[in-house]
Chains A and B, each alone.
Chain A
Amino acid sequence: MRKFLLVSFMLMFMFASSNLWAQDRTVSGKVTSVDDGSALPGVNVVLKGTTAGTVTDIDGNYSFSVPSDGGILVFSFIGLASEEIDIGARSVIDLEMSPDVTQLSEVVIQAYGEQSRKKNLQSIAQVDGEDIQDIPTITPQEALNGKVAGVRFTGTTGILGGETNLQIRGVASITSGTRPLYVVDGVPLNDVDISDGNGGASGLDPLLELNSNDIETMTILKDASATALYGSRGANGVVLITTKRGGDQSGKTRFSFDYYTGWSEPTITRDLLNADQFRQFRAEVNTARGSTPSTPEDFPQDSFDWLDATLQTGRVESYNFSASGGNEKTQYFFGATYSDQENHWIGNDLERYNGRFNFSHQASDKFKLGWNISIARTQGDRSNTENSTFSPYTVANLQLPWVLPTNEDGDFVSTGFIENVIAIEELNLSQLITRRVIGNTYFEFEPIPELFIRTDFGADIQQSEEIGRTPALLAPPAGTGDKDVQQVNKWLNTTTARYATNFGLNHNISALIGFTYESQTQTQTFVTGNTFISDNLTTLNNAANIDGGGSFETGYRLAGTFARVNYDYNSKYLFEASVRRDGSSRFGEDERFGTFWAVKGGWILSQEDFLSDIKAIDFLRLSIGYGTTGNDRIGNFASLGLFGAGADYAGFSGIEVNQPANPVLTWEQVGQLDISLRADFFNGRLGIDASYYEKKTTEALLEVPILVTSGFDGIDLNAGEIRNRGVDLSIDVIPLKMGDFVWKTNLNVGFLDNEVLSLPGAAVDEDGNEFIASGNQRAVVGGSINEFYLTRFLEIDPETGDPVWLTRDGERTSTLSTADRVYAGSAIPDFTGGFTNTFTWKGLSASVFISFVSGNKILNDDLGFVENPSSGGFNHSTRVLNYWTQPGDVALFPRLDSPLLTTFDNPSTNRLVSGSHARLRNITLSYSLPGSILEKTNFLRSARIYVSGNNITTWFNDEAEDSGIDPEVNQFGDNAQLQGETFFSLPQARSIQVGVNIGF
């Protein structure tokens, strides 16, 4: 493949002929913009079929020798529709050029630069802020759900501000995380979790403090040619976010105001037994099993609906105000947002304050400076989720329905192991405050038009403050309190130089070179105490005993040098090569530096003569490339032998070995092949993006078990191999365009095949394949990273009423044995995607967006508790009433006197459901006031009103819906080894928003 590229490259040079031509006369003219009549400098003017041509000067003028018999002039410029003009006998040809309506003319954001869509070779998907403005999200990347082929998105704990799980082109790592690198205006964001608890398995969202309203574009870098410039951090893909600038140079200030308000509820909840049903059922179970109490009257006689008491209508309100403007020298964007959100179950809310100021100033014609800065504060009440008896939703499912939260006097009582969450949410303080400044200051220098130098100082300053206080009632005898402050400070400098030129007329070459250095420190300080004189005192100076406290510090440094070269011949044959050398303090001295590279070649077939006559084809480009990137997320000091404190003894401070030295530890390597096609037909009515990729991770970090005689049970080795391959497909169609009526549709699908290729040193299963187990899932050679490994449940025997499982060999058995476990499906879908239809007619617009997922399995661990008739310690789903009573019954549950009733609740495929589903994720109706009315106001520039609904309906399977789970669950957050499981995971929100956008 590399050879192919080399040959292509050489061929391109051979094609490059000199511009010798019989030149007999001169044609000249001026090129202006159709929009405002301004002069257009830099427009390419070429004589068709030749390499002869010129470029317009600063005033839009050109002058150029042409053959005496004339010919056709081709005018082209990025962002404008190319024009072909027959010279005829004229010697002066003036031209007004208009913007290119097809998106091909647009610019796409790339690593450390940008490129026209036409010449972009990288596998990139760009989502504009406008496209996602009506989808209410806590953090911007949620809006990518179903919008971009090859990007898979799963919700996690449902806590406001909790991290969602975003995977670009599969799961490339087993242990080092799958989160992409997020880069905001050139600042790679901090990549650490700085909250301690009260949020379930997932940490804080890395983009929590980023305001969706400020976003101009989000660009997803998928293949190696796109991510190679991020070197050791590019393996999981990169999300580049650019924020809005001041665009209007007219001197006018544009204001805009946006407001929305919304209501939410869970998409689904479980049908639980009420107190009467529960008493009746327990009496039946006890009677059948010969134990007591055997009548409903002998149970406690109170009733309480815990689910109802923990649910509420969720609310959101958001106010956004922005101003932008400037003149030809200075531009600015100012934005401020306040939003307040309350979750649809008790104990969780989030308030956010965001401010942004982006500024740039042209100090001279060669020198420009600017900054982008955002300041944010979030403040929220947090609650536990999932595997916690302090989680409202978990307790709502488990609490016995006769347990009351209060006594006769109306005072809260303790409810024991399954906590009184109502009291907790009422009385406890569990607050998280985050503050964050993300910004950069840059200087740009353009000594000559071809050379552009930029240096950029960036920072990501992040702080979290967690405050907990439990009153005496819930933490006898006199209450407890804690405070935890964490700070992550990163600064970086990036300097790049770009040089672009052409030689001959058709050889366009540009080069980028740069270096970057970043340094991050993370600190934590915490204190805990107990025994407060009053519940009203929250701070820890009021605690009689300070029973814990400490501080912690870690950090890393990264230095990278990188370069990229782009060459194209006549905008037809394109070539790009990138390289980056990274050094990181995270790696052992022997392995500190790594080099990553990518090459890609492209061919714009539609420029070729043999296709130029086919009117239907607007544009056709084929590209192929290969490159490498790395994953550096192994922890900051993973290669050092470390002693840690806390190994105390008898009041003396002790230290013990935490990890053995591992000087050869290095980054995971990902090599990726990408073949892409971009095609546009029928004047922009049909656009297709298709890519095939094969992404192979080598040196994947594995914890390989070693003999414990070493003092350790495992050691991290760069040993595993994983392959993700798939097809990303995105199709844009304008099926109907009649007068003012336009119907646009987009379909995107990402097909993925994830396969573990080798796991040297890992355990070996019955079939001789190596595997790494994690709970009920295994990463297994020949299978995916997330294969469920469970004994197969067959049925409740209609004759006997006993459960029947299958042995490994497929024989019926009444003995549930772990020895009979088999691979029962993967948590990774075969394909995911989205389907959007937008209809506009004058100011009216309607859009319908459906997302879909197919082929994955979900493990519903809730069932071990709420569908376990053998235990009277927790409430049950109403499904348990469907138990076997007489021969011939096809029942969900065994007969109540079955000796296997206590075995039945153990994990088996009985808990596994299909995860395939489609979801009406968003439907929006909006109306914008027409220009004629706006003009009359003499004030308004734009005005729009909309209503949108989210997760309105879900097409899932009956089994899953009956058991009360939402398809988007992910109990273990971004733990790549445990995907697609729920243990009382919170259902997603179904919501309605009403909003206005006003510009003036």
Chain B
Amino acid sequence: MRINKNLIILLLTGFLVSSCLEDELELDPQQSLSTSTAFASVGNATGTVFGVYHLAQDLDVFGSMPQLAGDYMADNVNFVGTFPTLQDVNSLTHLADNGSTGAWWSEAYELISSANLVIEGVPTVPDIGEAEAAALIGEAKFLRALTYFHLVNLFAQPVQIDGGQSLGLPLILEAFNGDPVSVNLPRSTVEEVHQQIRQDLLDAVAGLPDSYGTDTETRGRATSGAARALLSRLHLYREEWTEAADFANQVIQSSIYTLAPDYTFYDGLTAEDVFTIVNTVQDNGATGSGGWDNYYEPSEQNGRGDGTFSQSLISAFEEEPGDLRFVLKKSGLDAANIMSMFTTKYDDALNDDSDAPIIRVTEIYLNRAEALAMITGSGSPNTEALDLINTLRTRAGLEDLAPATNSELIDAIAVERRKELCFEGHRRMDLLRRGLPLRTTGNLPASQPTGVGISSPGDDKVIIGIPQDQVDLSEGVLVQNPGF
């Protein structure tokens, strides 16, 4: 009996101890936050918002690779780089399994997914103030809208082609719940995507502050002004001229933004900038594959020397001598070891810390000018639009224009827009939305066989294919773009 008692006591003790220890198996990580603790305080939640900006810095999102492509698919940039997947995009022969363009899609959706998590998580933060919550959610919605807009411009035809009825993007608006099926959504139409972007931006206008305590934040974080500015661009692309002009005006009238007196504002976080993605030495989107400075700096200055002035852009500047914007250039060795012309807008490939230009007030001037001129239509030039353009020309050291007709003015605005915003990723959409070919025979990349790389509006290859692995994984839910 004694033995049995001993045994029983031992067993009981054993099981007692191990059952007590079961609670000990609950262990919290120390180096990371679990999803619940990420939203346990306002400080943590703010960190998740900065995390979304961090994703926006990514090379494949707003870190230059797609923006550079937008300039070389069009006629501003001569792409000299040897990266095969990017050369395919350059020659408009890109396929849906292109590794580079696949990352444009996946990295952007990573940002959207994080923004969704913030939008859902912030309201659960204990003791968060209403305005505080609205501001954080506003930032996430601004970044989500900016990213959807960026994606829909790349992966879908502009509204001008099919009235917005062509396929846009799968609209993922909720945080990922762990079930892959929940994110297997069909592509909404371009129109639906645009409406979602508009709604996010309107929410952002309502929730966001006008400015922050420091220049870095006022220029580098989302503000109500930045949301209005992006609304102006959205409506411009949609040819909703009145709204485009109104939102632009709200920005121009704001004391927070003023036109810089000269062209020293690049990478400066000045009143010229409406929204900029800040890159620093420690923290930027550049990788070994590229970056704003890396692509646009000549090889002897630590850059890849991939993106040089196209002959077409040089001609555009040379047409009107004395343009101070054409001073923003230098010579250097390109990726093919040939002396070429480079922009000086990005100037430090050693540290890769040039900020990503997203919206600056000059664009808003151009938006309003174009919108007003389009409202006027034919006849005499719209005077306010002409004034806005002449303000920009004065800064560029050029004489005032005095066009005879409004349609001359409209053409002049397009030229100004090209010269102002070259190397900032606008050119492709500025051509497509106006029904113009990206490139014509005269300005093809030298390396391409004859005829390759010419486009017409609505061509399959002026946009990018949905990554083929994603189409395959969706099992028929994601429909591929025609021609891929």
Contact = CB atoms under 8 A, between A and B. Distances in A.
Interface in A463-505: 495, 497, 499
Given A559-B25, A650-B278, A660 B176 contact: yes
Contacts of A592: 25
A708 B470 contact: yes
Interface in A550-573: 552-561
Interface in B28-62: 29-35, 38, 44, 46-55, 57
B415 interface: no
A641 B106 CA distance: 20
A712 B470 CA distance: 12
Nearest to B6: A447
A650 B53 contact: yes
Contacts of A513: 10-11, 14
A640 B38 CA distance: 12
A651 B469 CA distance: 36
B113 A657 contact: yes
A451 B26 CA distance: 35
Interface string B444-484: 00000000000000000000000101100110001000000
Given A559-B24, A654-B51, A515 B185 contact: no
A331 B166 CA distance: 85
Interface string A436-474: 000000000001101101000000000000000000000
B470 A707 contact: yes
A710 interface: yes
B109 A709 contact: yes
B34 A642 contact: yes
A657 B216 CA distance: 25
B216 A650 contact: yes
Interface string A622-653: 00000000000000110011111101111111
Nearest to B39: A643
Interface stretch (B15-23, B200-208, B248-256, B333-341): B15-23
A448 B6 CA distance: 11
A711 B113 contact: yes
A650 B34 contact: no
A715 B32 contact: no
A655 interface: yes
Contacts of A555: 27, 30
Given A453-B10, A585-B26, A648-B283, A706 B54 contact: no
A662 interface: yes
B112 interface: yes
Nearest to B110: A711
Interface string A561-604: 10000000000000000000001110000001000000000000
Given A653-B50, A660-B176, A448 B278 contact: no
Contacts of A641: 34-35, 178
A662 B34 CA distance: 12
Contacts of A651: 216, 280, 283
Interface residues of B, number: 68
Contacts of A642: 29, 32-35
A519 interface: yes
A707 B184 contact: yes
B10 A497 contact: yes
Report which residue of A556, A584, A658, A710 has the largest number of chain B beta carbons within 10 angstroms of its beta carbon.
Answer: A710
B180 interface: yes
B309 interface: no
Given A448-B3, A556-B27, A559-B25, A706 B180 contact: yes
A705 B26 contact: no
Contacts of B52: 654, 656
A644 B6 CA distance: 50
A146 interface: no
Contacts of B280: 650-651
A554 B30 CA distance: 6
Interface string B159-187: 00000000000101000101010111100
Contacts of B7: 451, 497, 499
Contacts of A515: 14-15, 17-18
Contacts of B49: 654
Nearest to A521: B30
A776 to B, nearest CB: 17
Contacts of A715: 178, 180
A661 interface: yes
B35 to A, nearest CB: 4
A709 B478 CA distance: 11
Interface in A683-729: 705-713, 715
B149 interface: no
B354 interface: no
B87 interface: no
B105 A708 contact: yes
A657 B114 contact: yes
B31 A710 contact: no
A447 B3 contact: yes
A450 B185 CA distance: 67
Contacts of A644: 31-33
Report which residue of B27, B110, B114 has the largest number of chain A beta carbons within 10 angstroms of its beta carbon.
Answer: B27
B290 to A, nearest CB: 19
A514 interface: yes
B117 interface: yes
B35 A706 contact: no
Interface in B94-113: 105-106, 109-110, 112-113
Contacts of A658: 32
B54 A656 contact: yes
A450 B2 CA distance: 12
A711 B15 contact: no
A709 B181 CA distance: 10
Interface string B416-436: 000000000000000000000
A304 interface: no
B3 A643 contact: no
B184 to A, nearest CB: 6
Nearest to B184: A707
B220 interface: yes
A585 B23 CA distance: 10
A644 B32 CA distance: 5
A640 B34 contact: yes
B217 interface: yes
A179 B7 CA distance: 36
Nearest to A640: B34
Contacts of A663: 178
Contacts of B113: 657, 709-712
Given A561-B15, A655-B48, A647 B32 contact: no
A641 B120 CA distance: 15
A77 interface: no
A421 B470 CA distance: 45
Contact of B183 (A585, A655, A709): A709
Nearest to A636: B29
A406 B53 CA distance: 48
A453 to B, nearest CB: 6
Contacts of A585: 24-27
Contacts of A338: none
B24 A519 contact: yes
Contact of B35 (A561, A643, A649, A705): A643
Given A644-B31, A649-B283, 9 more contacts: A554-B30, A558-B25, A643-B38, A654-B51, A655-B51, A656-B114, A707-B473, A710-B176, A715-B178
The 8 A-B pairs of least Cβ separation, nearest first, read A711-B113, A654-B50, A656-B51, A641-B35, A647-B51, A647-B54, A553-B30, A650-B278
18 contacts: A448-B3, A453-B6, A495-B10, A499-B7, A515-B15, A517-B24, A553-B30, A556-B27, A642-B34, A643-B34, A650-B53, A650-B278, A654-B50, A656-B51, A656-B52, A706-B183, A707-B474, A710-B180
Interface of B: 2-3, 6-7, 10-11, 14-15, 17-18, 21-22, 24-27, 29-35, 38, 44, 46-55, 57, 105-106, 109-110, 112-114, 116-117, 170, 172, 176, 178, 180, 182-185, 216-217, 220-221, 278, 280, 282-283, 467, 469-470, 473-474, 478
